[in-house]
Amino acid sequence: MPRYLTPARICSLVLIRQYQSGHTSSESSLRVLDFLATHVTASPENDVEAVSERNKFSSSDISFLAEKLSPWSSKVTGRSMYDILLKGLWALNGLDALHNLINRLNSDGVPFDEEGNPIPSKQITPGAPLGQFIRRCYVEFTRLQFADSQALWNSFLAYRAPTYEDWATKNPDAAKELQETQSLTNVPTLPGRSSADISSEVNSSSSVVDADMLLGFSIYQLQKLGTRVPGDVKAQLGKWIGDQWDSGTQSLHFFMEFFDHWRSGQYNVALESLHRYFDYSLAARTGTDNMRVYYQYALLHLSVLHADFECWDESVDAMNECIATARENQDTACLNFALSWLLYLRHAHPDKSRSSFATISGAVGSGGGEHDEIAFLKQKARDGKHWVLMSNTLLEEAKLEMFSGGSAKRAQEYILQAMYLNVLHDLQNLAPAAALFHGASHDRLGQAQLATRSYELATVVHDVHCSLNDRVRSTCRLALASALSGHYTKAMEMLNGLNPTIRGVLKLEQRIQAFATIVQLRRQLNRGDLEAASYYLNQLRPLRSFSDPEIVFEVNLLEIEFFIKQGSFEEALTKVSERIRESKGRGTDIAQRLHLLVLKSRIYVAGGQAVKGFAVALRATSTAERHLLIPVLHDGLAVLARILIDLAEYATARDLIEATLPQVLESKNVTLTAKMFVTMGEACVGFAGYCCDAGSAEHTRSMRRALELIERGRIAYQRTEDISGMLDCLLMKSKIANWGGDETTAAQADEMYMQLLADR
């Protein structure tokens, strides 16, 4: 592979020469200059389109140039810039001509037009981008070994060969002359040679610089978006790099492979690629100082890799080592990143023993808690103006505040601060994560609509900067919300729609699969199809050992729901007590614990021991209210109302639900809505039966109200496909209607009941 000079670059030189000598027409002049400027600068690009255009430009095919230049007119009427370029290309009749061209470009200060008049406006100063490009080409050209310059010439011939027809039809005289010289000297400058010849020269059509650029871009994308390298890019790079063992490109290639294998879930190969990357980097750059710098970053990557493959202890060990090295080298950026990573690890996996995380407190210099560590990191970030760290730490702080039962308002404030920082310092990559956090905090406040908007924000507004991981997360949350309001098919469509975009990133595939199974399991549980439910549950159970806490909690809940549906209350009670015990460890989310407590009281209610659950439900509900955990509060209130009915406190139960219902409707939890309607209907019936005089107006009113409420409950159950709920509602309806002497309604309800039973 050549270092720098390629046929495409020779084309650039020719084009520069033609631009200089005023071959461009006045309107195309700027466009040509713009085109040259984009393709001669060697700055690293992180924009997909720019990179793909450069890729096309440096490919072994001239068609990109043809397509670009053909529409631009030249000074000669009827000839496009492409024709002019071809004329210039075919005027190069040997290495000597190429040599002349480069020399002339490099030494000519002021160019001359065809009549020999100087054109000062087209002068290229050595400091300008074009001037630098020419200088670089000149230096590279003079440094070429003889064999290399021969190879360059051959690849140039192969590159321009396909344009012979285009050129010869427009320049018949020159073509004839060329034919004649060729027959005299027998120099193979014309097409007609075997295609094998040409293909072997295609190898040198791209240079180390191009490969480096493509590699750099791929790595940037891998890191930013967490995707995998597309197959064609990988093949192209493999072809370019071939067996260039000596260049620095090789080590970058391994770095790319490291990410790629990591994403595809190949732990061993990823580890090996990482080792190789650092080995080759060291070999390419000798010097002990460099080695120490590389060492800490190697450890950093190693730790992240371990963590991704659930090797927590190894990950923490590597990170501790990294921290030690970074401190020794006084690399604060690395040190702070490592500390914040450790903090994140601890939050993500709170049940790990404290000892392995001792370094954070060690660095902070106090035996203090997490608040001290966060304050320390914030201070460091502020001192070093390290805004990425600051933004991340704020989110971490918000999470801590939410999980440990702090103030929900303060958590919101931290999230908003982080979002503000992202906008202020243009940290676009962090915006999707902050939007997800914001959504989660809305969810906890029972604002389902706002939460949905926040999740959508991540993929709609921040689409270009949204990493694959955040994209999957936001879609999974949206799908779960859809399933909650009974739109199972839509939820499944959302999840399935993700599959093409993730291109075999193993972890994300597993995540999507898990969520799809969760949605199916919910649906079957609601329908009361226990056989199917147990099938899905069995698929989910093994996931608990390696999934993230969000999925684990969901699976635990569904398992308990399954037992309740099955009627095995004892088993459900054992499970729930077990989970409550587990959640007492440090660092678990307080919302989850309260949720489990409410669930426990619900099991008592379902098992006919409502009174036993009263104290638990009351305590959990009031705690949820204090911490503004609205979904748990609603759930708890529903259970409390049930218990009150069992205690014959009908009026209280009715009033309680009447006060809660509007907010529950807002939270979009259709199951809960249905339950609340039905419970309120029952409370009305009870109220009519026990607190009113038989035959009084209030009695009749209360019964009519009950009928309406139960019908609304039935409609809600229908949305979640909850068949047993619907049957219960119809039965109640029929009874109430019979009691009131409304025979048509009763007959309707009975008919629907039979129909439903038959369809089942």
Interface with ligand NAG by CB under 6 A: which residues? 200, 203, 239, 484, 631, 635, 638, 669, 671-672, 675
> Based on CB atoms, which residue is closest to ligand NAG, 111 or 439?
439
- Among residues 112, 189, 206, which one has the least CA distance to residue 154? 189
Question: Nearest approach, Cβ of 307 to ligand NAG (angstroms)?
Answer: 28
CA-to-CA separations, 673 to 11, 523, 709, in angstroms, rounded:
70, 17, 11
> Based on CB atoms, which residue is closest to ligand NAG, 155 or 281?
155
> Based on CB atoms, which residue is closest to ligand NAG, 583 or 671?
671
CA-to-CA separations, 73 to 39, 80, 172, in angstroms, rounded:
20, 4, 21
User: Residue 273, Cα to own-chain centre: how many angstroms?
Assistant: 24
- Among residues 342, 333, 339, 284, which one has the least CA distance to residue 312? 342
Question: Nearest approach, Cβ of 9 to ligand NAG (angstroms)?
Answer: 19
Question: Nearest approach, Cβ of 177 to ligand NAG (angstroms)?
Answer: 30
> Based on CB atoms, which residue is closest to ligand NAG, 339 or 484?
484
- List the structure tokens of 68: 């670009």
Question: Nearest approach, Cβ of 238 to ligand NAG (angstroms)?
Answer: 9
Q: Say how many Å lie between the first and final Cα of the chain, rounded.
A: 70
> Based on CB atoms, which residue is closest to ligand NAG, 325 or 667?
667
> Based on CB atoms, which residue is closest to ligand NAG, 237 or 484?
484
> Based on CB atoms, which residue is closest to ligand NAG, 253 or 675?
675
Do residues 322 and 303 make contact, with C-beta atoms less than 8 angstroms apart? yes
> Based on CB atoms, which residue is closest to ligand NAG, 203 or 499?
203
Question: Nearest approach, Cβ of 418 to ligand NAG (angstroms)?
Answer: 25
* 602 CB-contact burial (10 Å; exposed 0-12 / middle 13-18 / buried 19+): buried
The helix/strand count (H/E) of the chain reads as: 38, 0
Question: Nearest approach, Cβ of 200 to ligand NAG (angstroms)?
Answer: 4
Do residues 504 and 532 make contact, with C-beta atoms less than 8 angstroms apart? no
Residue for token pair 């399954």? 562
> Based on CB atoms, which residue is closest to ligand NAG, 111 or 631?
631
> Based on CB atoms, which residue is closest to ligand NAG, 151 or 756?
151
> Based on CB atoms, which residue is closest to ligand NAG, 306 or 675?
675
Question: Nearest approach, Cβ of 157 to ligand NAG (angstroms)?
Answer: 13
Question: Nearest approach, Cβ of 449 to ligand NAG (angstroms)?
Answer: 14
Q: At 142, which amino acid appears?
A: T
Do residues 253 and 241 make contact, with C-beta atoms less than 8 angstroms apart? yes
Question: Nearest approach, Cβ of 270 to ligand NAG (angstroms)?
Answer: 26
- Among residues 407, 378, 376, 372, which one has the least CA distance to residue 395? 378
> Based on CB atoms, which residue is closest to ligand NAG, 197 or 658?
197
DSSP 71: T
H helix intervals, 186-229:
195-202, 208-225
CA-to-CA separations, 277 to 236, 282, 432, 445, 707, in angstroms, rounded:
20, 9, 30, 47, 72
* 393 CB-contact burial (10 Å; exposed 0-12 / middle 13-18 / buried 19+): buried
> Based on CB atoms, which residue is closest to ligand NAG, 151 or 304?
151
Q: How far apart are CA 103 and CA 107, in angstroms?
A: 6
Question: Nearest approach, Cβ of 580 to ligand NAG (angstroms)?
Answer: 15
DSSP string, 746-757: HHHHHHHHHHHH
DSSP 584: T
Question: Nearest approach, Cβ of 645 to ligand NAG (angstroms)?
Answer: 16
Question: Nearest approach, Cβ of 675 to ligand NAG (angstroms)?
Answer: 6
Q: How far apart are CA 217 and CA 550, in angstroms?
A: 33
Q: Could you give phi then psi for residue 60, rounded to 5 degrees?
A: -85, 15
Question: Nearest approach, Cβ of 205 to ligand NAG (angstroms)?
Answer: 10
At residue 564, the 3 state secondary structure works out as helix
Question: Nearest approach, Cβ of 668 to ligand NAG (angstroms)?
Answer: 9
Question: Nearest approach, Cβ of 289 to ligand NAG (angstroms)?
Answer: 37
DSSP 116: S
> Based on CB atoms, which residue is closest to ligand NAG, 211 or 323?
211
DSSP string, 9-66: HHHHHHHHHHHHTT-B-HHHHHHHHHHHHHHH-------HHHHHHHHHHTSS-THHHH
> Based on CB atoms, which residue is closest to ligand NAG, 484 or 709?
484
DSSP 204: G
- List the structure tokens of 249: 């490109």
> Based on CB atoms, which residue is closest to ligand NAG, 163 or 601?
601
Question: Nearest approach, Cβ of 79 to ligand NAG (angstroms)?
Answer: 35
Q: What angle do CA 445, 592, 486 make, to 5 degrees?
A: 65
> Based on CB atoms, which residue is closest to ligand NAG, 277 or 717?
717
The H or E element that residue 165 is part of is helix 164-170
Question: Nearest approach, Cβ of 203 to ligand NAG (angstroms)?
Answer: 4
At residue 73, the 3 state secondary structure works out as strand
43: left (phi over 0), alpha (psi -120 to 50) or beta: beta
Do residues 119 and 112 make contact, with C-beta atoms less than 8 angstroms apart? yes
- Among residues 645, 639, 570, 643, which one has the least CA distance to residue 610? 643
Q: How far apart are CA 572 and CA 638, in angstroms?
A: 19
